[in-house]
C-alpha cells in the first residue's frame, strides 16, 4: 500500500450522523471506494474467525475494537479493491486508532469529512433504522454516544487543529447534506 499513491478521506461523525448514507452518494459522484470500518468488523463477526466473538461483544457494548484488528481489515479491503481513492467511514475513533493507522500504513488523509448532528436527531434516526443492527437498541446507543464524546471528538479536534477538518451540518435532510458534501469534494478537485 505504501508504494501506491493512495488517497484517503476519513468520514467521521456520531452514530447515526449519516456517514454510510452520504458515502454511498459520494461513491456515485466522485469515484471513491467506500470502506466502513463498522461494516468490515460486522463481516468479520459473521465469518466465524477466531476474533469474531470478541469483536461482537465489544460492538454490543459500544466499545472501540483494538486498532490492529480494524487496520488489518482496512488494509486488506484497500488492496482487494484495486482502487486508489478511499472513503474510510467510522475510523479512526480514538487517538490510538489514528496514530496506529498513520504508523502502519504511512498514509496521511487528504481531509476529514465531519458530520455534525445533534444527539436527539441521531437517536431518532438509529431507533427507526430497522436494519437488524444488534447495536441499535437504546442501551447500546447511549454507550455509543458516550464513546463518541469521550474518545472520538479528540480525533476530530486534532484534525481541526491541522486545518484538515471539513465540517458539515448533518442535521438536515439527506439531499441538503449532500449538497454541502459535494461542495467540499468539488473544491478539493480544483
Nearest distance from C-beta of residue 99 to ligand UP5, angstroms: 14
**Intra-chain end-to-end CA distance of the chain, in Å:** 25
Q: Binding to ligand UP5 by residue 151, rule CB under 6 A?
A: no
Nearest distance from C-beta of residue 190 to ligand UP5, angstroms: 27
Contact residues: Mg ion, CB under 5 A: 19-20
Q: Which of 172, 39, 31 is nearest to 115 (CA)?
A: 172
The residue (of 5 and 172) whose beta carbon lies closer to ligand UP5 is 172
List the beta bridge partners of residue 13: 115
Interior angle at CA 167, CA 40 and CA 163, nearest 5: 100
Nearest distance from C-beta of residue 168 to ligand UP5, angstroms: 10
Which of 82, 173, 189, 190 binds ligand UP5 (CB under 6 A)? It is: 173
Q: Tell me the three cell numbers of residue 140.
A: 447500546
Q: Binding to ligand UP5 by residue 45, rule CB under 6 A?
A: no
Residue 18 interacting partner from ligand UP5, Mg ion, none (CB closer than 5 to 8 Å by kind)? ligand UP5
The residue (of 132 and 163) whose beta carbon lies closer to ligand UP5 is 132
Residue 168 interacting partner from ligand UP5, Mg ion, none (CB closer than 5 to 8 Å by kind)? none
Q: Which of 127, 35, 164 is nearest to 90 (CA)?
A: 35
Query: How many beta carbons lie within 10 A of that of residue 35, not counting itself?
Result: 22
In angstroms and rounded to an integer, the radius of gyration of the C-alpha atoms of the chain is 16
> What gap in Å lies between CA 190 and CA 171, rounded to an integer?
28
Task: Provide the 3-class DSSP secondary structure of residue 94.
Answer: coil
42 is in an annotated binding site: yes
Q: Which residues are known binding-site members for a ribonucleoside 5'-phosphate?
A: 42, 63-65, 90-93, 133, 144
Which residues contribute to the site for ligand UP5 (CB under 6 A)? 13, 15-21, 36-38, 41, 58-59, 62-65, 70, 90-91, 93, 125-126, 129, 135, 144, 173-174, 177
Amino acid at each position: 500500500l505504501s508504494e501506491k499513491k493512495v488517497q484517503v478521506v476519513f468520514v467521521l461523525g456520531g452514530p447515526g450522523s449519516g456517514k454510510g448514507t452520504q458515502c454511498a452518494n459520494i461513491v456515485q459522484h466522485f469515484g471513491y471506494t467506500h470502506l466502513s470500518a463498522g461494516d468490515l468488523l460486522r463481516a468479520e463477526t459473521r465469518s466465524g474467525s477466531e476474533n469474531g466473538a470478541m469483536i461482537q461483544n465489544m460492538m454490543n457494548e459500544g466499545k472501540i475494537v483494538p486498532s490492529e484488528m480494524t487496520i488489518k481489515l482496512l488494509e486488506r479491503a484497500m488492496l482487494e479493491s484495486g482502487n486508489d481513492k478511499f472513503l474510510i467511514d467510522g475510523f479512526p475513533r480514538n487517538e490510538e486508532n489514528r496514530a496506529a493507522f498513520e504508523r502502519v500504513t504511512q498514509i496521511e488523509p487528504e481531509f476529514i469529512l465531519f458530520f455534525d448532528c445533534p444527539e436527539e436527531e441521531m437517536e431518532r434516526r438509529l431507533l427507526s433504522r430497522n436494519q437488524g443492527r444488534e447495536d441499535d437498541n437504546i442501551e447500546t446507543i447511549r454507550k455509543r454516544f458516550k464513546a463518541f464524546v469521550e474518545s472520538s471528538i479528540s480525533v476530530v479536534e486534532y484534525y481541526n487543529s491541522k486545518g484538515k477538518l471539513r465540517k458539515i451540518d448533518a442535521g438536515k435532510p439527506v439531499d441538503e447534506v449532500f449538497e454541502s458534501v459535494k461542495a467540499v469534494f468539488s473544491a478539493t478537485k480544483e
